[in-house]
Structures are given as structure tokens and as C-alpha cells.
Structure 1
Amino acid sequence: MNKKVSISHLTFIVKDIEKSATLFKVLFDAKEVYDSIDKNFSHSREKFLLIDDLWIALMEGEELPSQTYNHIAFKIEKDEMANYLRQIESLGLSLLSDRSRIAEEAQSIYFYDYDNHLFELHTGTLEERLKGYLK
């Protein structure tokens, strides 16, 4: 049997749904397509956003109790890094120091959102990384 699997959506539990929606709109040009403020079908209020075809679901709840290295990485272009850094700083997000890496790993920006979710903005590809790791 040949199974085709892909990501349906990513859900993040957030304390302030408006503030978190703004983060995705500013950083990723996400489009808000749904807000359950008038009619709730799930555990709590939720908003749906689209980053191109990627469905992001935000649900109101308690923030994560602590920061971990579990993260979601978004692909960005290298020449956009400075622009993303400015936007992250303007949103008052916590930046992490980059770790040492080999050239084939490309570059990354790591930051925590308002609810301790870790995000990475990454300029490389899996193929580039494997080329460096397997040489």
C-alpha cells in the first residue's frame, strides 16, 4: 500500500489569540480566514490563518510552562534575514543565539513567541545539509 502523507495543519495553543495572530500576519504575511469569536465549535476560541497553503490554527489556552528546543522551521531566503530580524524585534519576541554550524547547514534565526513556542527561520535545504553531513 502506497500512503501519501502531508501536513494538514499546525495548531498552537496561545494565551492572547489576537497578539499571536498579529505575529503570523506580520512575519509570514498570513491571511486570517476564520475566527470563532461568535460561534465556538472546538475546545476554545480559535483562529485559522493561511501562509500560502499552510493552515495555521491558533486556539486560546495556557502558554507552555517552559521553553524547549522542539520547534517548527520555516524556509526563508537568505537576503530576507535582516528584514525578518527587524520584524521579530519590532514584535518584542525573544531571540535565541544561533548555534555553531557547518556552512552547508545555511543560516537560521531562532525565536520564541509569546507562549514559549520556538520557531526557526531557515535559509537552507535538507539536500544542502546532508551534503555537508555526509562528506
Structure 2
Amino acid sequence: MIQGLNYLASGASDLDRTKKLLVELLGAFEVIPSCPKSDPQEIILRIGDVWLKIVKSDDVSSKATILISFNVHPSDFDWYLEEINKRDLQVANISENTEKKVRSIRFCDYDGNRFELNTNPMPSALLQSDN
């Protein structure tokens, strides 16, 4: 029986740039510090309760099929939107449901990996998702 999510993995053409983005924008922190024994071709981060393994890849598809969605507090949403725009990230969709007071933004990182920031907590956000 599945007990829960172990970790998510994604590729990146530039590990340092991707790490900087995830740390500054999403509050990630490195779980396993870089050291001689660790693989310099990957980093292990945590964002909230989610473990994320980023692997160096020179062949990162611009059509990533995974979507990583995080719940954010409604009062923080505008800050995230500004930060995403400052970094010139590709915004795929911004949606607002004023009746339910729900906002979300979908965007891609530098390698085309898809992220969503949503003010609607699970599981209701999943039930309303188009993916």
C-alpha cells in the first residue's frame, strides 16, 4: 500500500541557477549539503514537506510533463506573482475565482519544468484542477 509521496525529481541544465530560483522564490533549502561524497550532478532540496531532487541534465525538454503545485497563503500570492515577473519566468496561466477567493498561477522555470502556486488547499484544489 502506498503510504505517501517520497520525493519528486526534475532535470535542470544549470543546477546553481535552479537552486537559486527555488530557494529565493519558493523558500527551498538544501537538505544534503554539497560535499566531496555527494554527487555534484544533483541537489536535494525541501520545499515545505516536499523533497525535490534536481539532476543536472544537458538535454532538458522544453515540454516538461510534470506539474508541481504548492499551496500558498492568500496574503502571500501577490508577492509570489511579483517575484515570478521579476525573474522573467514564463507564466502559463493566472486564474482567479473571486466568488471562492481562490487564486493560482502556473509558470515554468528556466528549463520548462511546470509549477503552480495555489491559494486553495488540497484536496479541493486537485478536484478543480484541469490536469
For Structure 1 versus Structure 2, the TM-score category normalised by the shorter chain is: 0.7 to 0.9
- The structure-2 alpha-carbon separation of the partners of 1:127 and 1:18, relative to structure 1 and needing over 3 Å to count, comes to same
Does residue 111 of structure 2 align to residue 115 of structure 1? yes
Contact preservation (8 Å) 1:72, 1:118: yes
Deviates more, 1:74-83 or 1:30-39: 30-39
Look up the SS of the partner of 2:51 in the other structure: strand
Q: Which residue of 2 aligns with 1:33?
A: 31
Distance in 2 of aligned mates of 1:68 and 1:56: 16
Mapping of residues 31-70 of structure 1, within 5 Å: 31-35=29-33, 38-39=36-37, 45-67=41-63, 70=66
- The structure-2 alpha-carbon separation of the partners of 1:29 and 1:50, relative to structure 1 and needing over 3 Å to count, comes to same
Contact preservation (8 Å) 2:95, 2:103: no
Q: Which runs of 5+ in 2 are unaligned?
A: none
Aligned residues: 127
Bigger Rg over Cα: 1
Q: Which runs of 5+ in 1 are unaligned?
A: none
Deviates more, 1:103-112 or 1:14-23: 103-112
- The structure-2 alpha-carbon separation of the partners of 1:113 and 1:128, relative to structure 1 and needing over 3 Å to count, comes to closer
Measured against aligned partners, the alpha-carbon deviations of 1:83-130 in whole angstroms (never above 9, x if no partner) come to 001211222211123358684482111110011011100111333775
Mapping of residues 1-135 of structure 1, within 5 Å: 3-35=1-33, 38-39=36-37, 45-67=41-63, 70-98=66-94, 103-104=99-100, 106-125=102-121, 126-127=123-124
**In the alignment, residue 82 of structure 2 is paired with which amino acid?**
R
Work out the percentage of aligned pairs sharing the same amino acid.
Answer: 25
Distance in 2 of aligned mates of 1:25 and 1:128: 24
